[in-house]
Amino acid sequence: MATPEPVRDVRLCVVGDELVAGAGDLRALGWVGRVVARTPHEDRRLTAFPLAVPGETTTALAARWQAEASLRWHGPDDRPAEPFERRLVVGLGVADLRHGVSTARSRLNLANILDAAEATGLEALVVGPPPSSNRGPDAAVAPAVGDLSAAFADVCQRRRIRYVDTWTPLEGRDEWHADLAVEGGRYPGQVGYGHMAWLVLQAGWNAWLGIEAG
């Protein structure tokens, strides 16, 4: 009798602001839950740990992500109970623009996160900030989101890290902006998170996880 192939155990830490937690989504799935639900699970156990802090800048994220993620990968005694794969997803928002963090500092913060991940053997994927509404509480920063996304993309490109650009395809979509308006202009709802999830999946999510095309 052939020995069955072992099940891959993948622990996925998703760090970022409230968009990582699906704020505004009545189904409480956000883009993270939708992406994981649509990921093939036949030969793997995929567990996602969204580690979100509302309104967090990249400066604060760079300072705290390793300690929080380590608990999900190793537990309080720093000894994993069984072998598993570690993956890191960085979900970026627009808090840097709200709090006046310079583009240069934003770039450096992301670079520090990715370099620290690489130094510990982590494979990372970065999801960029989606468009903000021109009529909501982030109206003042909305025009600058595209430039911030481009800066993040450049940091990832230099390190050959997969970057999911959500701003470019969503900025011109009426459905996205209509969905933002439902939640007062700050958070997407089910339609918006569905769009984000689709973009993540189409950007090579399965390939990043080492899942062969079926």
pLDDT (0 to 100) of residue 77: 61
- Is 28 within a domain? yes
CATH of the domain at 144: 3.40.50.1110
pLDDT (0 to 100) of residue 205: 97
- Is 66 within a domain? yes
- Is 212 within a domain? no
- Is 210 within a domain? no
pLDDT (0 to 100) of residue 189: 95
- Is 4 within a domain? no
- Is 44 within a domain? yes
pLDDT (0 to 100) of residue 213: 64
Q: For residues 57 and 102, give the distance between their C-alpha atoms in angstroms, rounded to a whole number.
A: 11
pTM: 0.93
User: pLDDT tens, position by position, for the chain (214 residues)?
Assistant: 555 566 778 999 999 999 999 999 999 999 999 999 999 987 778 999 999 999 999 999 999 999 999 998 876 665 555 678 899 999 999 999 999 999 999 999 999 999 999 999 999 999 999 999 988 889 999 999 999 999 999 999 999 999 999 999 999 999 999 999 887 788 999 999 999 999 999 999 999 999 876 5
- Is 165 within a domain? yes
Number of independent structural domains in the chain? 1
- Is 31 within a domain? yes
pLDDT (0 to 100) of residue 122: 94
Structural domain that includes position 59: 9-204
pLDDT (0 to 100) of residue 41: 80
